[in-house]
């Protein structure tokens, strides 16, 4: 009697976790985050005992056993192909899947299954692919303040709900592209020229751009501090002088005569 391979795979799953068998194994990340519009390459590998021939490979969504024949995003035995889903793998051990120009509705639980000797071997509970919009792209800085003194340094990082594997990060100051790329922008030896609004974006087209982060490069703290001290001392001296003058005038008006000498000498002494 010929048994349906899908029934067999269900029985196999019920018998025990597949992942426990090192001969039959699918390896992929638990979750994978991607920003809408960019391309995701989900790494995947599988193993099977030597000498077995893989007849079919399938990537499906939201289905534990990839039984649905219509909604598989990739099926080597189907003529139907989705242009945005490319199977970069092979039938030997690589099951990498590429999703081109991801859209929100690609968010799903993805599962890989390979079929050998008439049996289907699904990977464990699959990759949770999360497609987020670019709105949560943020600039974070190594400092709490937005003010840095001349000659100082600051590191800005571009963050989002997704980690930035395989993503281009571009940086801008006041809307003009900077030559630096990558998730971190390190600015050192700061001068007033570095003052401005910094943004980062996740693709070269400038879409998925963060809110601006403003940097103000102030005067050197040392020089500033010295000036502050001088100005405070001058103000105090000026106040003392005015008080002295007021005292003299008051003494002269209210107590003319011999008493005046006393007050005067008190103030001076």
Ligand X SMILES: *[C@@H]1O[C@H](CO)[C@@H](O)[C@H](O)[C@H]1NC(C)=O
The CA distances from residue 139 to 34, 135, 151, 171, 211, in Å, are 18, 12, 22, 10, 7
Residue (3 or 214) nearer to ligand X, CB: 214
Contact indicator for 122, 64 with CB cutoff of 8 Å: yes
Give me the residues that bind ligand X (CB under 6 A), please: 45, 88-89, 94, 96, 174, 196-197, 212, 214
Residue (88 or 243) nearer to ligand X, CB: 88
Residue (190 or 251) nearer to ligand X, CB: 190
- State the CB neighbour count (10 A cutoff) for residue 239: 10
Tell me the C-alpha distance between 97 and 75, whole Å: 12
Measured from the CB of residue 192, what is the shortest distance to ligand X in angstroms? 12
Measured from the CB of residue 106, what is the shortest distance to ligand X in angstroms? 19
User: Phi/psi of residue 90, each to 5°?
Assistant: -140, -160
Tell me the C-alpha distance between 122 and 230, whole Å: 77
Measured from the CB of residue 124, what is the shortest distance to ligand X in angstroms? 18
Residue (37 or 212) nearer to ligand X, CB: 212
Measured from the CB of residue 174, what is the shortest distance to ligand X in angstroms? 5
Residue (96 or 207) nearer to ligand X, CB: 96
Which residues make Cβ contacts (< 8 Å) with residue 255, sequence separation at least 6? 263
Contact indicator for 195, 215 with CB cutoff of 8 Å: yes
Measured from the CB of residue 222, what is the shortest distance to ligand X in angstroms? 26
């Amino acid at each position: 009697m010929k048994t349906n391979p899908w029934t067999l795979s269900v029985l196999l799953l019920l018998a025990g976790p597949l992942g426990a068998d090192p001969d039959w194994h699918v390896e992929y990340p638990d979750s994978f985050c991607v920003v809408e519009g960019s391309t995701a390459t989900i790494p995947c590998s599988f193993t099977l005992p030597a000498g077995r021939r893989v007849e079919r490979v399938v990537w499906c969504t939201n289905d534990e056993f990839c039984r649905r024949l219509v909604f598989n995003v990739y099926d080597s035995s189907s003529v139907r192909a989705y242009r945005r889903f490319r199977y970069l793998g092979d039938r030997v051990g690589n099951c990498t899947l590429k999703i081109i120009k991801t859209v929100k509705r690609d968010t799903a639980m993805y599962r890989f299954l390979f079929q050998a000797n008439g049996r289907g071997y699904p990977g464990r509970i699959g990759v949770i692919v999360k497609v987020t919009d670019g709105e949560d792209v943020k600039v974070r800085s190594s400092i709490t303040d937005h003010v840095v003194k001349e000659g100082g340094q600051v590191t800005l990082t571009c963050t989002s709900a997704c980690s930035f594997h395989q993503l281009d990060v571009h940086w801008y100051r006041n809307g003009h592209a900077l030559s630096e790329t990558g998730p971190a922008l390190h600015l050192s030896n700061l001068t007033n020229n570095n003052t401005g609004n910094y943004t980062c974006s996740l693709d070269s087209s400038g879409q998925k751009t963060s809110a601006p982060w403003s940097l103000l490069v102030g005067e050197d703290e040392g020089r500033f501090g010295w000036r502050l001290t001088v100005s405070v001392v001058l103000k105090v001296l000026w106040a003392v002088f005015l008080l002295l003058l007021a005292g003299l005038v008051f003494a002269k008006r209210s107590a003319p005569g011999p008493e005046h000498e006393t007050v005067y000498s008190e103030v001076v002494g």
